[in-house]
Structure 1
Amino acid sequence: MENYFGQTILTKNSMFTLATADIYHAANSFHSHRELELIYICSGEGTFSIGQSSKRISSGTIILIGANAPHMFKFETNRYYDYAMKHGRTPVPLKLLTLHFDPNKLGQDFLNLPENNLLSKLLTASKVGLQLEGRTKTRAIRKLKKLESCESYEQLPLLLLLINEISASQDIPPSSENDAIKPFKKIDETRLSRIYLYTMDNFYKDIKLSDIAGIVYMVPNAFCHYFKSRTGRSYFDFLIEVRIEHACKLLRDGNESVSAICTSSGFNNLSNFNRYFKQQTGKSPIAYRQEHRQ
């Protein structure tokens, strides 16, 4: 598994970096950095986790991640690659465009100007992770691509326009510093990364509590308490969420029967699968497939 990501440290003479990647599989560990991160998934699918929440992401997703917010990405497991090839489909290679920038390099006096009130709100709101949508998303992607190809003297003005475009969006939810996701301790970053990555690579198996607890060298009872105290939910609630997200992908993209998808997603009981699926999506598997085939 290629580790494309890592902590980003800008040089003292740089306000931002812009990087591209073309790979098939990528994963990283929970990490945080002082820069804001704007990541555009040009193509590919995977899972984005920030703090205690995880969500499925795909081609066209663009997310703004605030300073010091613990986050991780996991794209296309080898299992999905094998599944796609087996069913005669070519896996979509992962293509990312990632911007890291440090608004503090504009200077505190600049950031405190009343004209920058929207920017201050954005910096606060981004600490929980913002997925851009609608016109804001379209315009942000356009400017991000232009930033990639423009002359160096055009970069800073264009970057400020990009930030302003996002700041002025009506889609930015109100938030306060109390909503910000607190950075994990280093040991928690390591432990939770192991738990998340193991789960995403093995969710289709019968994962026993002793197995997952052993990944972080804990006994089962201590592990259950640890995971819930750090994420706000039980491990098996998280595991079911990962399995249902995978089932959703197969229902959208494949032609396997619901019972086959139930099994390949890690469930050994169709009744339980249907119940959990409806709890998470509000629909039955058949209704979900029909909706996404229209």
Structure 2
Amino acid sequence: MKVIPFKIAASQAESIIVSEDILPYFYGHMHRHKEMQLTLILKGTGTLIVGNYTQPFAPGDFYIIGANQPHILKSDPIYYQNNVEGSVHAVHIFFEHENTLSHLINLPEMEFAKSFLEKTRQGLQIPEGYAPEAARLFLKASRSSGLKRLLISIKLLQYLSRHVKEYKLLTTDFAAAPFPAVEDIRLNEVYQYTLEHYAENITLERIAAVVHITPHAFCKYFKKHTRKTYNAFLNEIRINEACKRIVNGDATCIASIAYATGFNSAINFNKVFKKTTGKSPSEFMKEYRHKWDNALKLLRQPACLIPMFASSLSVLPASSSIAAQGLVWPV
């Protein structure tokens, strides 16, 4: 499979495009498009890859994906096995600002938007504390049309550029430039193979054979295009899966999670886990349980108060009834 040059279906009457996915699983191919993309996950879990970055995604996550950035929302395997319509739900807003909105963006009054759109080329995640207000404006824009959608979208960009602090970067600077098509194809093959076989013993010889080059050439190629070694990338995928298993209670002990995600020892797993997340597995589990307790307290609040703390509910495991229904902020 290759990174697909995706064409966003646009109406001549709309300069800002809205798309809503209510599907058995998310679109399973690495792809890119000329539009900047804002995505709010309402239902479903999996792995997000943007450029050279990978992390788990869950309900309540809010991402900004830069124009022409290769990306994929890879649903967890259970979604492909169940194949049930409506298992995942996300809303996307696409801004084609280089051509369609260029005259508007270049106005002096829109300088805030112009500078912010430049920052989005690396890809951003909106921090939890700002997600409820950002999601409120986002959903209000997505449910509007015509001039009203445009005006609300401008207000959303203003909020994102002036009020949101400490964005989480999804890529490093080099990744802003698009890869040539042939490199897209190779990287996608590597990403897809790793996502499907991370729990196995993936040697350099084995992964190099996937793209039909020697192990030495593969090491140079992967480092050149991602600024990290393949083993570092593989460990990130494995730790992402380990975090999901801890959250979902899929294993009885840390050692069983280590072996289930491809590590050959619990000691090595603990070392890589802390290097990747900044916490030990036990610290991560303790922090998750604290957030879970807080989420349960929120559920005891009157229903009208819960949306005020909606971002806190994103810690709920996918198996819970709340996460299964997705998160919806009122507008």
Q: Per the shorter chain, which TM-score range?
A: 0.7 to 0.9
Residue 215 (structure 1) aligns with:
210
Distance 1:290 1:107, change over 3 A: closer
Shift of 1:16: 2.2
Moved more, 214-223 or 229-238: 214-223
For structure 1, the residue ranges without an aligned partner over 5 or more in a row are none
- Are residues 1:102 and 2:102 paired? no
CA distance in 2, matches of 1:12, 1:18: 13
- The secondary structure found in structure 1 opposite 2:32 is coil
In the TM superposition, what whole-angstrom CA distance separates every residue of 1:126-161 from its partner, at most 9, and x where no partner exists?
001111125642222112222333354532222222
TM-score by length of 2: 0.76
Cα contact 1:31–1:72 (8 A) shared by 2: yes
Answer yes or no: is 1:18 the counterpart of 2:18.
yes
Contact 1:70-1:181 within 8 A present in 2 as well: no
Partner of 2:32: 32
Counterpart position of 1:204:
199
Distance 1:116 1:126 in 2: 16
Name the SS for the 2:55 alignment partner: strand
CA distance in 2, matches of 1:24, 1:257: 31
**Residue matched to 1:69:** 69
Aligned-partner residue type, residue 261 of structure 1: I
What percent of counterpart residues are identical? 30
Q: 2:115 aligns with which of 112, 121, 125?
A: 121
How far off is 1:13 after superposition?
4.8
Contact kept, 8 Å, 2:5 with 2:31, in 1: the verdict is no
Q: How many residues align?
A: 280
In structure 1, what is the equivalent of residue 319 of structure 2?
A: none
> What CA deviation, in whole Å up to 9, does each residue of 1:250-281 have, x standing for no partner?
11220521111111111121221122112222
Question: Which residue identity lines up with residue 149 of structure 2 in the other structure?
Answer: Q
Matching residue's letter, 2:197: N
Residues 68-106 of structure 1: CA deviation (Å, up to 9, x unaligned): 23323212124x877xx9xxxx9x922111111223423
Secondary structure, in 3 states, of the residue corresponding to 2:31? Answer: coil
Query: 1:258 and 1:57, CA in 2 relative to 1: closer, same or farther beyond 3 A?
Result: same
Structure 1 residue 54 and structure 2 residue 32: aligned?
no
SS of 1:26's equivalent? Answer: coil
TM-score normalized by the length of structure 1: 0.84
Deviation at 1:168, TM superposition (A): 2.2
Checking the alignment, whether the CA contact within 8 Å between 2:16 and 2:150 is kept in structure 1 is no
3-state DSSP class of the match of 2:236? helix
Q: CA deviation at 1:11?
A: 5.3
Amino acid in the other structure paired with 2:67: A
Could you say what secondary structure the match of 2:39 adopts? strand
- Cα displacement string for residues 12-66 of structure 1 (whole angstroms, at most 9, x for unaligned residues): 5541221111223334444332211111111112222222222222111111122
Task: Call closer, same or farther: CA 1:220–1:151 in 2, change over 3 Å.
Answer: closer
Query: Structure 2: how far apart are the matches of 1:122 and 1:69?
Result: 16
Q: Cα RMSD over matched residues?
A: 2.8
CA shift for structure 1 position 179: 6.5
What is residue 222 of structure 2 aligned with on the other side? 227
Q: Does 1:280 align with 2:262?
A: no
Which residue identity does 2:61 align to in structure 1?
Answer: T
Instruction: Summarize deviations over 1:157-204 as a string: whole Å, max 9, x none.
Output: 22222222222224266x9xx676111111111111111111011101
Decide whether the 8 Å contact of 2:5 with 2:33 is kept in 1: no
Q: SS at 1:221's partner residue?
A: helix
Structure with greater contact order relative to length (CA < 8 Å, sep ≥ 6): 2
**Deviation larger for 272-281 or 22-31:** 22-31
Letter in 2 for 1:210: E
What secondary structure, in the 3-state scheme, does the structure 1 residue paired with 2:92 have? strand
User: Does structure 1 residue 265 correspond to structure 2 residue 261?
Assistant: yes
More off after superposition, 219-228 vs 274-283: 274-283
Q: CA deviation at 1:234?
A: 1.0
Moved more, 262-271 or 132-141: 132-141
Q: Deviations over 1:101-136 (max 9, x none)?
A: 22342343x323322121111111100111112564
Summarize the Cα distance change of 1:291–1:167 in structure 2 as closer, same or farther, 3 Å threshold.
Answer: closer
